[in-house]
Structure 1
């Protein structure tokens, strides 16, 4: 990668964010939205900096991250395992395919009341909801990536005496890695959305709960702070996943 490409990509990535903030400021400045309901971005970011150094807000962030990471990790383990198993075994594929077709389009948030009754109002129900929502894009991407591995690579490995289970880890999994990581990136975005939504519906802590609490007391600035925070967390986590992707795919030409 040449030195000139990186700054251009960074600028192109920052430009939409700057545009959104400019439009936000323009709506307030020209009176299209009252400052009471849509506070200026300067007030919101100033309040965010104040909140970030408080122990209470740090606990809210920690609660959200615990649920997000736990649910996402479960989704990655299950999605990759089931996806590769379904691609490798026609029998497993025959069982998994109809289940995925039925459950993948289902809005998982509709199951949240049942999860609350089964797992309670703590971490368990929210982690399960995050895992259920993030699972299918990872599973489908893994299945697609493993299914499109060139058969001659598998035959060559088996002809060299590689055991079947080692072929999965040494040939199929590395070849499917670009597709798997794409599914993980989609699943991560979904995890951020779902954990925030679950905390808004019912929770005693977390960023979603902080937003609902501020809305109930008509504190518009404090209501926007959790929104900005979850957006920044999403950007940071997506960037970290991009670094991991570049490292894992360093041998691939497109990486």
Structure 2
């Protein structure tokens, strides 16, 4: 009988103690989870601007000829998952015998590092001079211009002239020129640039700082100009 009473009292005591321990552990866990959620929320909010910069970027340039500012050029890069979209828009206002206004818009879409679509559109004094689209169809590229389709011989394009504004071609020895529908050789120059000479005799030379294109020297048959990044 006495043993039974002692057993009952001990059971009651430990039962009450267990409840107290349970309550203390519960309060500790609630406080810990709350602090953890606050910490993760702060880290996530702090990470949002970095994520936005990584996914979307914009570069602005001015176009100089003979020391005179004759136009502007804007580039945008938007990334989502394994797809990236590049856009170039520019306008030039100059004068030869008569005033000349040139507008250009180019775009490129890459998926898994491969070009799947590009377009080039140019106007001079309101008259369309170029309107071309390149599209990957199954395993070959098709070029549409002036209502005619042409199939290209090469199956893969990993980089084109537009992409060079966002990526220094450190390991590349050639780049695709959408306008002339061919790959051109990349030659490293003595002053640190990357020069491309096109079949028509014109050439561009890209210069970089920390992986970003800072200026492009253009050597055309009839003129020379330079595209310089705005600080």
**TM-score category, normalised to shorter length:** under 0.3
Structure with bigger helix share is: 1
**TM-score normalized by structure 1?**
0.18
Does 1 or 2 have the higher relative contact order (CA < 8 Å, sep 6+)? 1
